[in-house]
Amino acid sequence: MPLLEVKDLRIGLQTQRGPAEAVRGIGFTLERGETLGIVGESGCGKSITVMSLMGLLPSTAKVGGSIRFDGTELVGLPEKQMCQIRGNRIGMIFQEPMTALNPVHTIARQVGEPLRLHRGLSKADARKEVLALLERVGIPDAASRLDAYPHQFSGGQRQRIGIAMALACGPDLLIADEPTTALDVTIQKQILELIKSLVAERGMALILISHDLGVIAQTVSKMLVMYGGSVVESGPTEAVFARRAHPYTQGLFAARPAIGAPRGQRLATIRGSVPELVDLPKGCPFAGRCSYTVDACKTTPPPATMLPHDHAVRCIRLEEIAAQGAIAP
Amino acid sequence: MSTAAVPNAAALKVPGFWRRALHHRSFVLGGTLTLLLLLAAAVSLVWTPWSPYEMDMANKLKPPTGAHWLGTDTYGRDVASLLLVGARASILVGVIAVGIGLVVGTALGLLAAAKRGWVEEAIMRLTDFSLAFPAILSAIMMTAVFGAGIVNAIIAIGIYNIPTFARITRASANAIWSREYVAAARACGKGGFAITMQHVLPNISAVLIVQITIRFAIAILAEAALSYLGLGTQPPQPSWGRMLSEAQTMMFQAPLLAVFPGMAIAFAVLGLNLRGDGLRDLLDPRLARAR
Amino acid sequence: MSATTTNASPLLRVTNLVRHYALPREKLFGPPPTVKALNGVSFDVQAGKSVGIVGESGSGKSTIARLVMALDTPTSGTVSLEGRNLHALSKEELRVARRDFQMVFQDPYGSLDPRQTVARIVAEPLEALAATSRAEQRERASETLAAVGLRTTDLDKYPHEFSGGQRQRIAIARALITRPKLIVADEPVSALDVSVQAQVLNLMQDLQQQFGISYLLISHDLAVVNHLCDDVCVVWKGLIVEQGPPAELFHHAKHEYTRTLLDAVPRTPTGGTLLAA
């Protein structure tokens, strides 16, 4: 049985202009120890998806479909039981290390909180565990800094503390929502390597969200590309990177400036801009912005086409795109 | 993205502000009560059931009847008429006293935020000093020294509003000065005064609006307190506070005499506070992020 | 051609720029601690060319931006625009000089006044120069909006009605309206999505070709700097540790810190790396 099985997940949100579907029927599975990356730009629904895994959506959100975590259905689970899973069996690392820690509590207390809450450890026992965790995540001189406050640490160190907190109870699944976006690139490298080694060491499953394709390439073995609340392409990271079948994926890759590319070259852009949630087209969310759009694209959401190596793409124009030589064999 | 939680007036520009406002319970309730207050004062300018100055000793201390809807007081004056005209005094005090505080206090606060350094320090220490004196005692002291009367009452209450507005303005203005659009204005070569008037003031207007509502309520209470002590509005000018004071001696003979002005004060203050709460909710910065 | 050659006088010359900040006192006696943000930085920007300043947080790159824009005064050192020392000018002279150098900020959500219309925001630099009438300002604003790919109908809208990328275009229009010779762009695309980033970078490139603007581009993103700049300065702990054309710098980095930076950039398996060719 897979550790996490998401089927036809639909999430509706209340926006300024009325109700809108933020996530439109996505599905994926994750086995123990597997790493999954979710790539997409603002508004694609990646953060909302993982928030629904943690049951952290706003009260006005409507969730449909199924999320099975280790056999338990998470959609509609009463809050009390959700609390037992959060922090205990699913851990989360957030994007902003500056604000993810409470400035008025010591780090010993904060990292120890999940331990005391879920495992009922005493203050002293929790402290010992916290020390071990902090040392593992690479906080120098951890023993003397247990009673320090978050503002006494740098951004990178705070993120390490956040990781320690997420790992405290030995969760089966670790969710990292843009964990390195707010950090310098040299620190980013260290944090990603830390996450990778911890995940391998403890056999946890990992869901990593990022807008940075390079980060995804280096950290996860499977990936999803999301746009407008749908998964437009999914599969093993290598396969997706090599083939880039979906027009949106191609657009994303082409739009990045590369170090060492010749100067004066214009970057290929995706024409138009991401429409607001309420304005997304009924069929394929990318219809209209895509240069291969036909009428059929606008009416029905495209079904998944399977390519070799478990690589799925939602596009009805794949043949034409391949014919134009845009997809590698 | 850094945004201090300053209520953002940009929220007023978000479509549907009035729709949401009319669904907000506190705002609607408060707004209704405040409107009633204004209505009472406005009506009293053209009509009252009886003249509030007319004394009718034969009919004194009567309970509510067909002729006198809320009864009569110790001198036979119609309570309903007294309440209506008393509303005028309360509003007058509110408007002018808050006005003094707003104009002078805001100017000081904006100056402090724009100049910083010793100017800011001096202004802030001045406000600290003023706030150290208990408000009502200061007002009492002033009216006792300069004489009782509505004018002095207004000035006393107004002076007390200055440090409050100064502090609030300075705090909000400081938050705005650190925004990037102010840096952009400086990069264009705009001076402190232009930036204050064009960028800072419009963006703190929401805070000021909320504060005005709250201070208005306090001003009404303060006027009532002063009048109760005989230091505010002088007879024969009707005032809710003085009505309470006079009713005190008649507590056992005509208890209703105290109830009506008391309720009037309570509802006016409640209405203003509710509206202030409602406004604060509605102007919350998260709304300014409408995309 | 490297920007350090002292040929025909450069548009912008920064010499030995130092900025130290005094922190609040920690002890009653004794000097207060200081933050040494910049410790002697020098570089030139030639007319029509672009220079990139690359560094991580705390390196001093934002301080360079503020000092070049005369939003802050240096502890020592000079910033000369077309031979004139900006910090030695009188207040009035500086105000007039600002026509020639403008800035684009990082945060598209914070750099536009939410209470002003686009027309006012974009025309603000003209207003500060006080040489034009309202009608003229609106005319110029309209022209400039067209140059950045927005419409005249957008003039009367408010910032919250636009997306991040569009707001950044408005910010660029504001910087462009006085036809400056130099635009200092502090992390202009960092807050934008990749596809939007590409659009804005293309725009900046087009504007350079069209109007001959020089950019001083501050960024932590090596790829962005590589795309737009003729010359790159790598800043670390308040000093420039390496300087040169991007191709040379990124392929033959000499300083250890530059190599660390390059090394840390995540690679994509496009049969190789993010570093093309």
pLDDT value for C1: 40
Tens of pLDDT, residue by residue over A145-163, are: 999 999 889 888 999 999 9
Sign of CA dihedral C87, C91, C93, C98: positive
Write out the H or E segment, with its range, that includes residue B93: helix B79-100
What ipTM does the predicted assembly reach?
0.82
Q: Which one has a higher pLDDT value, A97 or A174? A: A174
Q: Which two tokens stand for residue B252?
A: 């056992």
Residue of A nearest to C268 (CA): A214
Q: A300-319 pLDDT, tens per residue?
A: 888 888 888 889 998 888 88
Please give the residue of chain A at the shortest CA–CA distance from B16: A16
pLDDT of residue A328: 52
Distances (CA, A) of C192 to A212, B191, C218: 12, 31, 15
Q: How far is B200 from chain A (nearest CA, A)?
A: 27
Q: Tokens for B171?
A: 């705090």
The whole-number pLDDT of residue B14 equals 57
Report chain B residues whose CB lies below 8 A from the CB of C158.
10, 13
Q: Which helix (H) or strand (E) holds B146?
A: helix B135-146
pLDDT for residue A297? 86
CB pair distance less than 8 Å for C115 and B203: yes
CA–centroid distance for A31 within its chain = 16
| Burial profile C253-269: b = 16 or more Cβ within 10 angstroms, e = fewer | beeebbeebbebbbebe
Are the CB atoms for B14 and B287 separated by under 8 Å? yes
Confidence (pLDDT) at C276: 34
Q: What order of strands is seen across the sheet that includes strand A90-93?
A: A90-93, A173-177, A205-210, A35-39, A222-227, A230-236, A311-313, A305-307
The whole-number pLDDT of residue B285 equals 57
| Cα–Cα distance, C98 to C114 (Å, whole number) | 24
Residue by residue, DSSP assigns A114-125 as: HHHHHS---HHH
Q: What is the pLDDT of residue A30?
A: 94
Residues of chain C below pLDDT 70: 1-8, 269-277
The two three-digit tokens of residue A122, written as one number:
């005493």
Structure tokens at C123: 């025309």
Q: Which residues contact B132 (CB under 8 A, 6 or more apart)?
A: none
Beta strands at C101-104 and C84-85: parallel, antiparallel or unpaired: unpaired
- Nearest-by-Cβ selection for C71 from B14, B187, B288: B187
DSSP characters for C8-65? Answer: S--SEEEEEEEEEEEPPPSSSSSPPPEEEEEEEEEEEE-TT-EEEEE--TTSSHHHHH
Quick check: B14 and A16 CB within 8 A? yes
Between the CA of residue C6 and those of B83, C40, C46, C84, C214, what are the distances in Å?
85, 18, 10, 16, 17
> Where does the pLDDT of residue A66 fall: very low under 50, low under 70, confident under 90, or very high at 90 and above?
very high
Q: Are strands A173-177 and C239-244 parallel, antiparallel or unpaired?
A: unpaired
Q: Please check whether residue C120 is in contact with residue B214, taking contact to mean a CB–CB distance below 8 angstroms.
A: no
Position B65, amino acid: T
Specify the pLDDT at position B284: 66
CA distance C255 to chain B (A): 33
pLDDT for A325: 66
Task: Check: CB of residue C128 under 8 Å from CB of residue C98.
Answer: yes
pLDDT reading at A209 higher than 60: yes
| A172-176, A257-261, B40-44, B111-115: least confident range | A257-261
Residue with tokens 């590409």: C198
**pTM for the full model?**
0.82
Tell me which residue in B187, B203, B288 faces C102 most closely, judged by beta carbons: B187
Per-residue pLDDT, averaged over A132-145, amounts to 91
Q: Nearest to residue A67, comparing CAs of A93, A92, A88, A85?
A: A85
* A303 DSSP 8-state letter: P
Kindly report the average pLDDT of chain A as a whole number: 88
Give the mean pLDDT per block of 10 residues along chain B (291 residues): 47 64 83 88 83 79 79 82 86 90 94 91 92 81 80 85 93 92 88 90 88 89 84 82 83 84 88 85 58 28
> What pLDDT digit, counting tens, does each position of A7-52 carry?
999 999 988 778 888 999 899 999 999 999 999 988 888 989 999 9
Instruction: Determine the Cα–Cα distance for residues B112 and B109; give it in Å rounded to an integer.
Output: 5
Smallest Cα–Cα separation from C192: which of B1, A249, A278, A16?
B1
- Which residues fall within 8 angstroms of residue A45, CB to CB, at 6 or more apart? A11, A22, A23, A24, A26, A226, A228, A229, A230
DSSP secondary structure of A154-208 = -HHHHHHHHHHHHHTT--SEEEEESTTTTS-HHHHHHHHHHHHHHHHHHT-EEEE
C252 touches chain A (CB under 8 A): no
Interface test with C, best of A185, A196, A252, A270 (most C CBs within 10 A): A185
Answer yes or no: are the C-beta atoms of B104 and B162 closer than 8 Å: yes
Whether C174 sits inside 8 A of B183 (CB atoms) is no
pLDDT confidence of A96, banded at 50, 70, 90?
A: confident
Q: Min CA distance, B12 vs chain A (Å)?
A: 14
